[in-house]
Structure 1
C-alpha cells in the first residue's frame, strides 16, 4: 500500500498540480479551462508512454508462451500506476469539464455542485464508465483471477495507450492555434493509425496468439474461450470501435474543410468551439 501511495497516487496528481502552476507562467493569456485541459492531457500522455513502455517489455518477454510466461510488470504496473491513474483521471476530467463550462458562463458552474457533477457524468458517461469498469472489473481479474497466467495479454492491453499521446497532442496543438500546420495533419493520421492498430486490430491479434498456443485456427478461438472472456473482450472493444468511428468522422470533416477554397483560420476556430 505504501508503494501505491508513493507511486501513482502521488505522481499523477503531483504532475497535474505542477503543470497547473507552470503553464500560466508561460502562457499568460490562457484561461483556467485552457490550463486544466492541457495539464490533464500532458499527464495522460506521460501515463500513456509509461504504460506503452511497460506493455512492450511484457509482450516481448512473454511471446515464447503467451499463456504461462510471466513478467512482474504485468501485475505491479497495474497496482502502482494503472489503478491510481484511472482514479486520478476521473477527477481530472471532471475539473476540465467544470472549468470549461465555467469560463463559458454557465450558471451551474459558478462553484462545484452536484449539478456540475451530474452534468459531467452525463456528458462523459462512456469515458467515466470505461474508467470505472477498468477499476472494478479488469483490476480484480488482473490481480486475483488469472491464476498466474496471461501476462502477455495484460501487456497487450497496456499497448492500447499508444494512441493517447497523439490524441493529446492534437488537442494541445488546437489550444496553441496550430490546427492548420502540417504537424497537426500528420498527428491526425497517427491518431487514426495508432488507434486502429492498438485498440481494435490488437484484439484479433491476441485471439490469434491464443490460437497459436493451442494450435487452433483463429475462427475457433472464441468457441475455445469461456463466455466471460469473450464478453469481457467485447465490452472493452465496443467503445474503442465507437470512438474510432467518431475520430474518422472528425477527420473527414477536417478534410472537407481543408478542401474548401474559403477555408480560413476563423473557420477553424469555429470548429474548435463546436468541439468544446
Structure 2
C-alpha cells in the first residue's frame, strides 16, 4: 500500500479511536458522579470528557514534537524523522473528531434542541465560529502541507506538534470550572501555567522557528520571511493569529481574577 492509503487508514482508525475515548470518558465520568451523588449535568460531563480526550491528544502530540525537534535540531531543513509525517494523519483525525465532539457538547448545552438538522448546525456554528474555522483550516490546509513536504522541514513540523504543550492546562481549566472549583488555589495555579505554556508554545514558538532557520543560514528574521515560500508564511500566520486572540482572552481573564472577580463561561470561552 502507498503512503496515501496507509495514511487514510490511520486517519480513519484514529478518528474512531478519539470518538471512542470521548464516549468512554463520558461513561466513566457519569458513573463516577452518580456514585458520588454529585449533581453534574450531562452538558458539563460531556464538556469534561472532551477536555480529557483533548489532553490525551495534546500529550501525544507534544511527545512526538519533542522527539522530532531533538532528532532534527542539527539541520532544520534537511534532517528527517518519520514521526513528522505519520503523526500528521493522526493529528488531522483529531481535529475532525473534535468538530463532532464540540457539536455534541453544544447540543447538550441547549435547553431546547432545534428539531431540524440545519437549525442545530447553524446554532453550533454561530456559537463556535472561530474554533470550527480553526479546526477546518488545520485539517484541510495545514495537515496536508505537513504530510506532503518533499521530506524537508521536519524540525518545523515537530515545533508545530509542540504547540499542544499548553493543552493539558487549558483542559484542566475546563474540568476545574465544571466541578465548581474556580475560586480555589488550584484553579489559579493552573491558570498561570496555562498562560505561560500557551505564550511559549503557541506564540513565541513561531518567531523561534524563524530564528532557528536564520541562525543556521546566517539571516535575520526579516530575511527569513523573504526567503521562505509565501504559503509557509501564510500558514504560520493563519495558525498564529487565533493563538494571539486566545492568549489575550486568557490574560484578560487572569487580570479579572486578580481584581477579585469571578469568570463566567463566556470569559473562559467554555462551551
Does the alignment reach a TM-score above 0.5? yes
Corresponding residue for residue 161 of structure 1: 164
1:91-142 C-alpha deviation (Å, 9 max, x unpaired): 00111111112xxx24xx1556311211111221111111111111112212
After TM superposition, list the pairs within 5 Å mapping 1:103-114 onto structure 2.
105-106=111-112, 109=113, 111=115, 113-114=117-118
In structure 1, list runs of 5 or more residues that go unmatched.
259-267
Moved more, 110-119 or 131-140: 110-119
CA distance in 2, matches of 1:112, 1:201: 44
| Shift >6 Å, 4+ stretches | none
In structure 2, list runs of 5 or more residues that go unmatched.
none
After TM superposition, list the pairs within 5 Å mapping 1:237-256 onto structure 2.
237-256=240-259
1:215 CA displacement = 1.5
CA distance in 2, matches of 1:6, 1:236: 24
Corresponding residue for residue 197 of structure 2: 194
CA distance in 1, matches of 2:11, 2:161: 21
For the residue of structure 1 that corresponds to 2:196, the secondary structure is helix
1:213 CA displacement = 2.1
User: Is 1:58 matched up with 2:68?
Assistant: yes
CA distance in 1, matches of 2:139, 2:120: 23
Q: TM-score, normalised by structure 2?
A: 0.90
Corresponding residue for residue 77 of structure 1: 87
Corresponding residue for residue 265 of structure 1: none
Change (3 A) 1:188 1:227: same
1:165 CA displacement = 0.8
1:246-275 C-alpha deviation (Å, 9 max, x unpaired): 1111111111125xxxxxxxxx4x835875
Corresponding residue for residue 15 of structure 1: 21
CA distance in 1, matches of 2:49, 2:200: 27
Corresponding residue for residue 141 of structure 1: 145
Contact 1:67 1:213 in 2 (8 A): no
1:245 CA displacement = 0.7
Corresponding residue for residue 100 of structure 1: 109
RMSD: 1.8
Change (3 A) 1:231 1:6: closer
Q: TM-score, normalised by structure 1?
A: 0.88
Aligned residues: 259
User: Is 1:271 matched up with 2:254?
Assistant: no
CA distance in 1, matches of 2:257, 2:32: 29
1:52 CA displacement = 0.4
For the residue of structure 1 that corresponds to 2:260, the secondary structure is helix
